[in-house]
Amino acid sequence: THRTVLNQILRQSTTHLADGPFAVLVDYIRVLDFDVKRKYFRQELERLDEGAIRKQLAAFLEGFYEIIPKRLISIFTEQELELLISGLPTIDIDDLKANTEYHKYQGNSIQIQWFWRALRSFDQADRAKFLQFVTGTSKVPLQGFAALEGMNGIQKFQIHRDDRSTDRLPSAHTCFNQLDLPAYESYEKLRQMLLLAIQECSEGFGLA
């Protein structure tokens, strides 16, 4: 999977960047610009995919486009296409809550209580978008959220307190199933900002 390949890339010391200067990507503390890293990882994944499964992918796409013409699906994002093909998942909020870790929040923090209240108020479509937002996929593990995987294997859903401005949207790190949640001043604002983030941001990184 792409997540496995990305994990392998991260474990390697790399000294070349896409359209950028030579630098060590992994072995040192230096943090590179997210857009540069994203472009590099995407190019590496494309290169590995083309070398390993080019023929198989071409055959799959040929058959797929016979069933659904390319022009009909080109209007959808990858997240929307996943939901169209797989359907809406049934997301057990109690199971997700039981397998959640908190950082700089407590389970009884008012923002955490508001968060779970907001999530329960979402319909299945918005719950699926939320799951995509924080994990990168709308699929629920067959064994439940206790089996949720991150970049390094089993990784529970995490909610981290974001101490920056409460005018920011929640953001996420899908490799770690992590939601960064500002300490919003009211339930209404938390729900509004969370909905805006999952509906307008195709990936977990977003600012208001």
Q: Where in the chain is the domain with CATH 3.30.2410.10?
A: 90-200
**Does the pLDDT at position 108 exceed 90?**
yes
- 193, 208 Cβ separation under 8 angstroms: yes
Mean local confidence (pLDDT), 11-36: 49
Active site residue 201: no
**Does the pLDDT at position 204 exceed 70?**
no
Element (H, E) at 172: strand 171-173
- 100, 139 Cβ separation under 8 angstroms: no
| CA angle, residues 85, 144, 128, in degrees to nearest 5 | 40
3-state secondary structure of 12: coil
pLDDT at position 21 is 44
pLDDT at position 32 is 56
Q: What is the pLDDT of residues 123-163, one digit of tens each?
A: 988 999 999 999 988 888 878 999 999 888 899 999 999 99
- What is 90-200's CATH number, 3.30.70.1450, 3.60.10.10, 3.30.2410.10, 3.40.50.2300? 3.30.2410.10
- 172, 132 Cβ separation under 8 angstroms: no
pLDDT at position 196 is 96
Active-site residue, from 10, 73, 81, 175: 175
Q: What is the pLDDT of residues 40-85, one digit of tens each?
A: 777 777 776 666 777 888 888 889 888 888 888 877 776 667 666 6
**Does the pLDDT at position 183 exceed 90?**
yes
pLDDT at position 129 is 92
Q: How far apart are CA 181 and CA 115, in angstroms?
A: 9
